[in-house]
Structure 1
Amino acid sequence: MKVGKGKCSGTFGELVQGVLDQQPFLITLPIPVLKSEAIFIPDSIKSEINGFRSNTKALEACKKVFQWFGLSGGGFLQLHSNIPRGKGMASSSADLVAAMRAVADSFSIPLTDDIISWIASEIEPTDGVMFEGVVAFDYINGQHIESFGSLPPFGMIGIDIGGVIDTIQFNQQPKQYDRSDRHTFFEAYNLIKSGIKNMDLSQICMASTMSAKVNEKILPKPYFKEIERLTSICQGGIIVAHSGTVLGILFDPNISNLEEFLLHVSSFFYQTKTVPYYFYNNQIFN
């Protein structure tokens, strides 16, 4: 045993979220600079795993790892995260994954991403952040569907509309998708797959916008029309947290009218008095 360390990236919403046939799925938008980091200090004498009360779910995940691998003893869990809570940025999922990885590192056990996803989904609906790159993931059943690879270079500007969303409660509500919505999800899924394969950001932007518009019927966002107008200026895509409070614009940082676009964005933030998130090449500027 040793002091174990684990980490996991957060997200900025999802590229796509909906259903394929009857299977719920999301396609991740990992943002490595948003991350949760965990430290697990093992204790062979104690039989309990302790930590701060705010980390209840992560502590439960650690206990499940102990049960899965038949580990004995206990320990203390510490978590540090820069991911905002209740915003749809995978803060809870990242905590669970980082905590489980810290336990695995402490005991040198073969904890796979699939095992992590199964355990996490027993605790709550979870994001696919345990897998590398952009993936399609069944967030209800903890099932990895498909890996797509990495996104081409992108810029992203986002806002938080305020408040928080209880993910567990939200996902217990039935989603009323019609036939047209289901066709949209199928098309968006394949656009993401093609866009990443061909490093074509425009296809990815098209897919994210399609999914965001369907989600307006489920969880409408203030400023959506304004973000849609700004997106048209940069020929980008709308990004939303389908069960959260953030939305934004995905765009090619090499567009010819970048200065014009950023001027419009600055004007929007000044008029609405909202606080932006700026992401570029996996760096964040607030």
Structure 2
Amino acid sequence: MKIGTGYCHGTFGELVQGIINENDPFLIPLPIQLYSKAVFLPRTNVKEIEANNNKCKARKACQLLLDKYQINQGGTLVIQSQIPTGKGMASSSADIVASLRAVANCFSLPLTEKLISEIATKIEPTDGIMYDEIVAYDYLNGRQIETFGSFPELVLVGFDTGGIVDTQQFNQTRKTYTNYEKQQLRKAYQLSKKGITEHRRESIFEAATISAKINQKVLPKKHFDEMEQLAEIYQGGLVVAHSGTVIGILMDPNQQNLNLKKLLIDIHAKTECPPVTMKVLT
């Protein structure tokens, strides 16, 4: 038994999100280099877990893990996160995954991606970020649908449109799609699969844009039209948090004549929002 540590990355929303096979919910996460870090300090005289900053979801998840392995000992869970909350960037999912990894590390418990998924989904809809590779993931039922591998090198320029979204409450609302939108989501799924497995960036950009357009009816984003215009001009893909507030443009960093500085200036001029540049995890 030792002090346990665990990490998990966040996301910039989702590459694609919707339904597949008529009614099965799915998402494909878009991982970025922002992290949650969890540290678990075991205490021999305590049977329950205490967590800092009211991190009750992560605490509950860790308690479920200890109960599974019949460990009658608690401790203190300390979480530090770079990921903003209420923005659709997987902040609470990252806290849960990092915390489970910290507790497992402390007690040397076997912890598979599938087990993390099962526990996380008991707490709330989750994001599939517990998997090492990019997956298509049923975020309501915690089911891995398909594994795609890893993203090619991509750069992302985006910003927060403001406000917050309660993801748990948002996901309780039933989403309806027209037959055309269902067809488009199937197309986006296949484009994502092709783009990630074969490292075809143009397919990834097209998939992201299709999904972002469909989601604009579900959860509208300010400055959507301006960003769509810029994505087309700069030959990138429009990407959004489908249950959050961020919006951005995916770019090929190796694109000839790519001028990221000018893109940043153009985004600010059109939206009056300060954009930032991020790297997508590969």
| Fold shared per TM-score above 0.5 | yes
Secondary structure in 2 aligned to 1:120?
helix
Counterpart-to-counterpart distance in 2, 1:127 and 1:246: 16
**Structure 1 regions of 5+ residues with no counterpart?**
none
Confirm or deny: 8 A CA contact 1:3 1:40 kept in the other structure: yes
Confirm or deny: 8 A CA contact 1:234 1:257 kept in the other structure: no
Residue correspondence of structure 1 range 142-157 to structure 2 within 5 A? 142-157=142-157
- 1:263 Cα deviation after fit: 1.9
Aligned to 2:166: 166
Counterpart-to-counterpart distance in 2, 1:49 and 1:227: 44
Confirm or deny: 8 A CA contact 2:267 2:275 kept in the other structure: no
Aligned to 1:198: 198
Q: Give identity over the alignment, percent.
A: 48
Aligned to 1:213: 213
Aligned to 1:103: 103
The answer to whether the aligner puts 1:276 opposite 2:275 as a matched pair is yes
- 1:281 Cα deviation after fit: 6.2
Aligned to 1:241: 241
The answer to whether the aligner puts 1:258 opposite 2:258 as a matched pair is yes
Aligned to 1:28: 29
- 1:23 Cα deviation after fit: 0.9
Confirm or deny: 8 A CA contact 1:30 1:133 kept in the other structure: no
Deviations 1:21-56 (A, max 9, x none): 21100001111x211000001112211111224211
The answer to whether the aligner puts 1:128 opposite 2:128 as a matched pair is yes
Secondary structure in 2 aligned to 1:158?
strand
Q: Report the CA distance shift for 1:133/1:176 in structure 2 as closer, same or farther (over 3 A).
A: same
Q: Report the CA distance shift for 1:179/1:63 in structure 2 as closer, same or farther (over 3 A).
A: same
Quote the RMSD (CA, aligned, Å).
Answer: 1.5
- 1:264 Cα deviation after fit: 4.5
TM-score where L is the length of structure 2: 0.96
Deviations 1:116-151 (A, max 9, x none): 111111111111110013111111011111111111
- 1:268 Cα deviation after fit: 2.9
Specify the code of the residue in structure 2 equivalent to 1:272: T
Confirm or deny: 8 A CA contact 2:154 2:279 kept in the other structure: yes
Specify the code of the residue in structure 1 equivalent to 2:63: K
Confirm or deny: 8 A CA contact 1:57 1:123 kept in the other structure: yes
Specify the code of the residue in structure 2 equivalent to 1:188: A
Following TM superposition, where does structure 1 have runs of at least 4 consecutive aligned residues deviating by more than 6 angstroms?
none
**Size of the alignment, in residue pairs?**
281
Aligned to 2:64: 64
Confirm or deny: 8 A CA contact 1:26 1:139 kept in the other structure: yes
Specify the code of the residue in structure 2 equivalent to 1:269: H
Confirm or deny: 8 A CA contact 2:44 2:74 kept in the other structure: yes
Counterpart-to-counterpart distance in 1, 2:262 and 2:46: 58
Counterpart-to-counterpart distance in 1, 2:267 and 2:151: 27
Answer with 56-65 or 43-52: which moved more: 43-52
- 1:256 Cα deviation after fit: 2.4
- 1:67 Cα deviation after fit: 1.1
**Structure 2 regions of 5+ residues with no counterpart?**
none
Q: Report the CA distance shift for 1:217/1:265 in structure 2 as closer, same or farther (over 3 A).
A: same
Specify the code of the residue in structure 1 equivalent to 2:268: F
Q: Report the CA distance shift for 1:226/1:134 in structure 2 as closer, same or farther (over 3 A).
A: same
Specify the code of the residue in structure 1 equivalent to 2:176: Q
Counterpart-to-counterpart distance in 2, 1:119 and 1:155: 32
Confirm or deny: 8 A CA contact 2:226 2:271 kept in the other structure: no
Specify the code of the residue in structure 2 equivalent to 1:274: C
Counterpart-to-counterpart distance in 2, 1:214 and 1:35: 29
Specify the code of the residue in structure 2 equivalent to 1:240: V
Counterpart-to-counterpart distance in 1, 2:146 and 2:198: 17
Counterpart-to-counterpart distance in 1, 2:111 and 2:279: 32
- 1:72 Cα deviation after fit: 1.2
- 1:282 Cα deviation after fit: 5.1
Q: Report the CA distance shift for 1:281/1:139 in structure 2 as closer, same or farther (over 3 A).
A: closer
